[in-house]
């Protein structure tokens, strides 16, 4: 059993010590932030993109840098994962890309706003995050990104999206493409109905 003075010493030294550690780590983080985020590359478009992201409460569903609502996809490395062309197309009409899936709000972004958002995601993706987001331990390695027409790299969709895949050919007119006999809501399609990655599915 501690005496009263020992208890006081224990309380003061532990509280003070750990407060100092906390403050030190915080100061160290703040010191490293400009270099790790490549602050010099933060153009006005990046800042505008961030404002669009905040003003529409995108983190009400998405996460970015691991922070958000854990409902819609993580967006830290979205440019690496999908490619800029894919993101531009998706933001034009989110529901057309993945019908029958969770719906992203149609924000009716202008082309300039989409440019800003892409710039913002590109800047976020180059932040040194110590390897965040980590690669999943158990999931099979993703197929390599598919090169679309005009040399635009089109990232492949995660497996869950392949189940009702609705590929939109880049470079062509943006069309809502529904596969014949698309699965009904909530019922997973059989593997035989899954389209091969990279082959655009067209309306017959």
Partner 1 sequence: MKYRSQRIAWLFFATCMLLLSLQIVYGFIMGFARIGFDLHSGSRSTSRAPRTRTCSSYGCSPASLGAAYYILPEEADRELWSPKLAVVQWASLVVVGVTAIVGFHLNWWEGRKFLEIPRPLDFLVVANVLMFVGNIGMTVWNGRRYTTTALVLLAGLVSAAAVPARRWSGSTTRRSTPTSAGGSCTCGSRGVWELIMGAILSYLLIDSRASTGR
- The residue among 112, 153, 124 whose CA lies nearest residue 58 is 124
**Nearest distance from residue 31's CB to partner 1, in Å?**
12
How far lies 124's CA from each of 70, 76, 93, 155, 169, in Å?
Answer: 18, 6, 23, 18, 27
**Residues in region 122-151 near partner 1 by CB under 8 A:** 124, 127
Verify binding: residue 54, partner 1, rule CB under 8 A: yes
Verify binding: residue 104, partner 1, rule CB under 8 A: yes
**Nearest distance from residue 123's CB to partner 1, in Å?**
9
User: Does residue 127 contact residue 65 with C-beta atoms inside 8 Å?
Assistant: yes
**Nearest distance from residue 46's CB to partner 1, in Å?**
9
| Cross-strand pairs, 74 | 63
Pick from 59, 91, 117, 164 the residue near partner 1 by CB under 8 A. 59
Q: Which stretch binds partner 1 (CB under 8 A): 63-71, 79-87, 147-155, 167-175?
A: 63-71
**Phi, then psi, of 155 in degrees rounded to 5:** -65, 150
Cα(66)–Cα(133) distance, integer angstroms: 8
Binding stretches for partner 1 (CB under 8 A): 22, 26, 29-30, 33, 36-37, 39, 42, 47, 50, 53-61, 64-69, 71, 95, 102-106, 124, 127, 185-186
């Amino acid at each position: 059993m501690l005496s009263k003075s020992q208890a006081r010493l224990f309380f003061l030294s532990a509280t003070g010590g750990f407060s100092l550690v906390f403050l030190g780590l915080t100061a160290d983080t703040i010191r490293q932030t400009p270099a790790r985020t490549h602050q010099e590359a933060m153009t006005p478009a990046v800042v505008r993109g961030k404002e669009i992201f905040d003003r529409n409460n995108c983190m009400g569903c998405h996460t970015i840098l691991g922070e958000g609502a854990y409902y819609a996809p993580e967006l830290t490395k979205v440019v690496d994962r999908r490619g800029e062309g894919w993101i531009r197309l998706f933001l034009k009409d989110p529901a057309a890309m993945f019908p029958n899936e969770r719906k992203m709000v149609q924000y009716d972004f202008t082309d300039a706003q989409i440019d800003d958002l892409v710039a913002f995601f590109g800047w976020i993706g180059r932040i040194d995050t110590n390897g965040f987001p980590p690669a999943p331990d158990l999931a099979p390695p993703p197929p390599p990104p598919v090169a679309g027409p005009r040399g635009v790299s089109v990232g492949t969709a995660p497996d869950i999206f392949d189940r009702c895949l609705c590929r939109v050919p880049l470079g062509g007119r943006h069309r809502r493409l529904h596969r014949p006999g698309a699965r009904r809501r909530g019922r997973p399609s059989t593997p035989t109905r899954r389209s091969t990655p990279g082959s655009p599915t067209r309306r017959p």
